[in-house]
Amino acid sequence: MKRKLGNVFLICLLLAMLIAVTACGGSGGDENAGSDEGDAGNAADSGSVADDPGIVLHFGSAVTPQDAAYPAIIGFAEELTEASGGSIEVVTDLNGVLGSDRDITEAVLNGDIAMAFMADISVASAIPEVGFVNLPYLFPTREDAIETYYNGWIGEKYRELLEQNGLKIVGNFMESDFRWMSNSKRPIQSAEDLAGLKMRVPEVPMYVSFFTKLGCTPVGMGINEVAAALQQKVIDGQDNGPIITHSRGFHEFQPYFTKTNHAYACTNFIMNPAIFDSMTPQQQELLLEMADKWTAQCQEDTIESVDIKVKQMMDSGMEVIDVTPELDAFIKKCAQEVWADDDICKNYPDDVMERIRSEFATS
């Protein structure tokens, strides 16, 4: 009896030892697996942009919620902040709260703010040598602008000059609309129709010269003064494109709008290079990715918005007039006279002006 009990006890002891060893081995295996997963997770976390040092990027612009670019700027800021896990915080200072376009451009140059949405004509107010991109009638059609500006040598030169002067372009080139001519006096269909019109123009010598050659009386003033000047009949007309003309309410005082396409402007996301360089490589890569995405979206929205704004203005009673061949030829002639004016073009690089005069000028 005692031998049987001893055998049973020995068997139970062996089973218990076997179970204990198996349990320890299983537990050890689980711990090792958990440790591997934890190490992998920690490695992934250590490589995440969310773990990079935090940076706040102030993004300035004068655009308002009525502007076509507004949703893209907000989308860029929100998605970049979220995609970075908060290591990049984009703060939008829109509606001109930081001052004029020139004030905002200079703030980016000085590093007071990191980024801005800015038209080339506004950049030229701070960096005059890039103003050649706004020469009248340089790009008669959108296709011309895409070929030579967005994807051609003019865009390359513009980007190069900005970098030399302390600005970095991030993302794609975007359209800021062709400039047309609106007025309260008469439809513009010929050179004679332009004679004597008091036209508001940007406070840039090139535009003053151009409108003088057209036979108008140019009046230089800031964009924020235009609506009141139109309403009070201080000026007869202005030359912004459909988007700005509508969003600023200029069409309310202007029954005639002619599709002159006499000048073209481009916009960009500009950035202070030193601030960009202070970011980690991962943050830089993410910012460039988001800039590409949202500037492409902005371009689509802007082009779509032109047709929408034109229809809305026509529905409100504005007469939108196609340019006649006679008027088109006259505008081109006056534009090329501006190109040939060494005094007007003295700030622009000599090699650029030589190429423009040889490649773009026609008899």
Which residue in 72, 111, 110 sits closest to 94, CA to CA?
72
Reported confidence tier of residue 303, pLDDT bands at 50, 70, 90: very high
Which two three-digit tokens encode residue 8? Answer: 């049973």
Pick the more confident residue, 45 or 58: 58
At residue 362, the pLDDT reads 66
Q: Which long-range contacts (CB under 8 A, 24 or more apart) does 24-33 make?
A: none
**Using CA atoms, how far apart are residues 167 and 114, in angstroms rounded to an integer?**
10
Q: Which long-range contacts (CB under 8 A, 24 or more apart) does 106-109 make?
A: 107/60, 108/60, 108/167, 108/270, 108/271, 108/272, 109/165, 109/166, 109/167, 109/272
Average pLDDT in the 129-158 region? Answer: 95
Residue type, 268: N
Give 177's Cβ-side CA count (13 Å radius). Answer: 25
Percentage of the chain beyond pLDDT 70 is 87
pTM of structure? 0.82
**Using CA atoms, how far apart are residues 267 and 68, in angstroms rounded to an integer?**
12
At residue 66, the pLDDT reads 86
At residue 131, the pLDDT reads 96
Average pLDDT in the 280-288 region? Answer: 98
Name the pairing type of β-strands 319-322 and 256-271.
parallel
Q: Where are the beta strands (DSSP E) in the chain?
A: 55-60, 88-93, 115-119, 168-183, 198-201, 217-220, 237-238, 256-271, 319-322
pLDDT at 162 over 90: yes
Q: How do residues 66-90 score in pLDDT, each as one tens digit? A: 888 999 999 999 999 999 999 999 9
Percentage of the chain beyond pLDDT 90 is 81
Return the CATH number of the domain spanning residue range 53-359: 3.40.190.170
